[in-house]
């Protein structure tokens, strides 16, 4: 590389073993981060629904942490002066961007983050409407809205729907 006047960063440049079901060897480096994704051995299912190990990308810990920070900065739960539709109009572009970029591979990695949006919406409803101060009532209210308007929030279209007695699923 010195011939073409390029330097390799010692921490960023490493040889990684792409371990999966067909490659059983043990090596020190079996994962790497690239463009917000962590490439690592992960479970997958074949067309016969059998589980096997494959080398797949998923949103990196650092990327999920940063999305969580951004979500916290939105302060959805404190914006009681706005309707749920106005909040959706404000934040859907960002949420949809996350889903389109990171949800392309290993969707379940985003599940916990997207469920947090529902938690913030519950907190918002409990602060905005006094009758929803009981958590179960707020969950019921939000699940009714999601049933009536399933495409209101981008993460509801993705499958993270608020349901009474659950935290949603991906």
> Average of pLDDT values for 140-155?
96
Alpha helices (H) along 77-110: 84-102
The model carries a pTM of 0.83
Which pLDDT does position 134 carry in this prediction?
92
Report d(CA 168, CA 170) in Å as an integer.
7
pLDDT above 90 covers a percentage of the chain that reads 63
Count CB atoms within 10 A of the CB of residue 42.
18
Q: Assess whether pLDDT exceeds 60 at residue 64.
A: yes
Which pLDDT does position 31 carry in this prediction?
82
Alpha-carbon torsion angle 76, 78, 80, 84, nearest 10? 10
Burial class (CB in 10 A: 0-12, 13-18, 19+), 27: exposed
Which pLDDT does position 12 carry in this prediction?
74
Q: 65-93 pLDDT, tens per residue? A: 999 999 999 999 999 999 999 999 999 99
Which pLDDT does position 170 carry in this prediction?
46
Q: Do the beta carbons of residue 99 and residue 158 sit within 8 Å?
A: yes
Q: Where are the domains of the chain?
A: 2-59, 61-157
Residue of 46 and 101 predicted with greater confidence: 101
Going by DSSP bridges, is the β-strand pair 32-34/37-45 parallel, antiparallel, or unpaired? Answer: antiparallel
**Averaged pLDDT of the chain:** 89
């Amino acid at each position: 590389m010195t011939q073409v006047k390029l330097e390799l960063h010692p921490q960023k440049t490493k040889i990684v073993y792409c371990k999966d079901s067909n490659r059983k060897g043990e090596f020190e480096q079996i994962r790497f981060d690239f463009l917000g994704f962590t490439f690592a051995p992960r479970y997958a299912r074949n067309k016969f629904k059998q589980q096997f190990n494959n080398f797949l990308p998923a949103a990196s810990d650092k990327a999920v942490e940063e999305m969580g920070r951004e979500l916290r900065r939105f302060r959805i739960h404190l914006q009681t002066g706005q309707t749920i539709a106005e909040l959706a109009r404000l934040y859907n572009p960002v949420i949809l961007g996350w889903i389109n970029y990171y949800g392309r591979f290993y969707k379940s990695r985003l599940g916990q983050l997207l469920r947090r949006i529902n938690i913030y919406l519950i907190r918002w409803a409990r602060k905005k409407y006094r009758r929803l101060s009981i958590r179960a009532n707020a969950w019921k209210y939000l699940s009714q809205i999601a049933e009536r308007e399933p495409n209101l929030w981008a993460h509801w279209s993705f499958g993270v729907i608020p349901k009474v007695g659950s935290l949603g699923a991906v």
